Structure 1
Amino acid sequence: MMTDLLKLTRDNYFSLEAQRQYMSVSQFKGFLPSYGGCEAQSMAKLAGEWEDSQKTAFDEGHFLHAWNEGTLPDFKANNPSIYSSQGPTKGQLKANFKHLTKLIEVLENDPKVMNALAGEKEVIMTASFHGIKWKIMIDSYNPEKATFSDLKGLQSIDKTFWNKESRAPESFIQHYGYDIQMAVYAEIERRATNNKEWLLPHLVVVTKETVPDHDIAFLSHENIPRALNIVANNIERVKAVKSGLVQPVRCEKCDYCKLDKKVMRIKEFSEFELY
């Protein structure tokens, strides 16, 4: 017997039940080794047997998003762990969160950034795509201007990553799959609103460097299909694993796999080369 899908709210959007019932971009990438994902770990998360240990990075992201949403005072009040509890800095924001206020100042002082981030905040939408329900949460939604934006905090804008699968360098956009995220958001928004055209996706990025850098990028309509094609080429495998039709593959590199990893064969030195 089919159960009704969970009605998503800001309170339950990141809940385990929401992850089980809906596909999201982060969950999709979590199944793909090319984006640092692992099928076995992803299934353990859905079973409630594993949680990511990167709480600090998660809280830092929510700090920035709370500012964008206009709820930063509430976030500070509801998250006492971001404050120092001892020593001469007791009662003050911990160093990493204090530094985030510098990032916010940089963003607030740039008119183009504030224009890009204008609109309705944290908008949740759902739609069917490739035969399953997807969920998205748009940071800044501005349909009147036919745009939407997502805010990201990064270590560096200029850092180059090496993709072992394609054996080629890539930017932070490809490395973290932000092109996929923006394309899927555009498609889900189009389906949810019955629009014929995609809104233009914008990415507002700010770095956590000592002197923060920042920039704005957009994904053109011409490049959205290319990013959606990555989803099309991988979604059937992801669906099959998530539904339990096929066994998940272990990556043997993530924390979940390393807990009980067993060496299956001895490798030759050259197998560890990066290029």
Structure 2
Amino acid sequence: MKQLTQENYYQDTSYLTNSRFKRYQQCQAKAYAVDNGSWTENRDETPLLLGNYVHSYFESPEAHEAFLAENGDKLLAKTGKNKGHLKADFVIAEEMIYSLKTDDGFSSLYHGYHGDDVKKEMIVFGDIEGVPVKGKLDSVNLSRGYFVDLKTMKSLYAEEWNNDIRKRVPAAVNNILNFGYHGQLGLYRDLLKQMTGKDFRPYIVAVSKENVPDKDILKIDDEWLEEGLNKLKADIVEVWDVIQDKQKPKTCGRCDYCRSKKRLNAVISLNDLINK
């Protein structure tokens, strides 16, 4: 396998990442088409940019400057009274950064105490069900045996309905479960153990995108980490076979890519729609 570095990490495709795996879970056909260049995904890049804006700040001053240099024009308003100034989303990002950087509890957890061996953007890799997998961890405290993932969320505590749990839950719960963050952290914990032989405790520092940001340190219970990792293990071999052209990708029938390929060759009854 190729040796992974900070310079080649994002270009390398010889390892599977959690984010790429999740794309294939949503729709194999669409993810495969995106990978081979036959489909361009149109999506709002603001949430990703906002997350990277906050992440890069806490990685290092150099990383944040590089992010601003690469994306600066995308962060600025092009019209209106705020023309030439930060868009509203990134003004909120600045508030999120301020809320965290002035919090001693966050600083101690994320940056560690004096003398701690803390790695930012640490590359982890290993084998899951025979599939080579890699990941990048926001902050790993090798001295104290834990790692931290920084997540930006619309809200932490606004109540939302969860179909699986069948009750209303804080928004952070839906964010973690619907985006598969419990599986991501379970995966990273497994890869860290493969590399170090040690068990690490995962934490999420969640910060909201509200005008006055909310924040909390969240611990994912072991049963959720195991459930998330087991879901990944159940599908990862099939996904890797699709990527390697050993298996034809399946269509989900509902995404924008699948809709673009849809042809009217069948009649669907009302009862069929209800039962779907």
Q: TM-score range by the shorter chain?
A: 0.7 to 0.9
Residue correspondence of structure 1 range 205-244 to structure 2 within 5 A:
205-221=206-222, 223-244=224-245
* DSSP-derived class of the 2:189 partner: helix
Q: Does 2:109 correspond to 1:116?
A: yes
- Tell me which amino acid in the other structure corresponds to 2:268: I
Distance 1:109 1:39, change over 3 A: same
Distance 1:13 1:222, change over 3 A: same
Q: Does 2:29 correspond to 1:29?
A: no
Q: Does 2:52 correspond to 1:62?
A: yes
Provide TM-score, normalisation by structure 2: 0.84
The answer (yes or no) to whether the contact 2:119–2:142 under 8 Å persists in 1 is no
Residue by residue, what CA displacement relative to the aligned partner does 1:223-246 show, whole Å, maximum 9, x if unpaired? 533332212222232223222222
Residue correspondence of structure 1 range 151-170 to structure 2 within 5 A:
151-158=150-157, 159-163=159-163, 166=164, 168=166
Cross-structure match for 1:192: 195
Q: 2:38 aligns with which of 20, 34, 49?
A: 49
Distance 1:188 1:155, change over 3 A: same
Structure 1, unmatched stretches of 5+, are: none
The answer (yes or no) to whether the contact 2:95–2:211 under 8 Å persists in 1 is no
Stretch moving more, 127-136 or 169-178: 169-178
Stretch moving more, 71-80 or 150-159: 71-80
Distance 1:10 1:256, change over 3 A: farther
Identity among equivalent positions (%) equals 29
Residue by residue, what CA displacement relative to the aligned partner does 1:166-199 show, whole Å, maximum 9, x if unpaired? 5845632111111000000000111122x1x320
Q: How far did residue 10 of structure 1 move?
A: 3.2
Distance 1:273 1:100, change over 3 A: farther
Q: How far did residue 269 of structure 1 move?
A: 6.3
Provide TM-score, normalisation by structure 1: 0.84
Q: How far did residue 90 of structure 1 move?
A: 3.0
Cross-structure match for 2:145: 146
Q: 1:181 aligns with which of 180, 184, 205?
A: 184
Q: How far did residue 87 of structure 1 move?
A: 4.3
Distance 2:40 2:48 in 1: 12
Distance 1:66 1:78 in 2: 12
Segments of 4+ in structure 1 off by > 6 A? none
- Tell me which amino acid in the other structure corresponds to 2:91: K
Stretch moving more, 257-266 or 61-70: 257-266
Q: RMSD of the alignment, in Å?
A: 2.4
* DSSP-derived class of the 1:150 partner: strand
Distance 1:152 1:24 in 2: 17
Q: How far did residue 21 of structure 1 move?
A: 1.5
- Tell me which amino acid in the other structure corresponds to 1:75: F
Stretch moving more, 175-184 or 264-273: 264-273
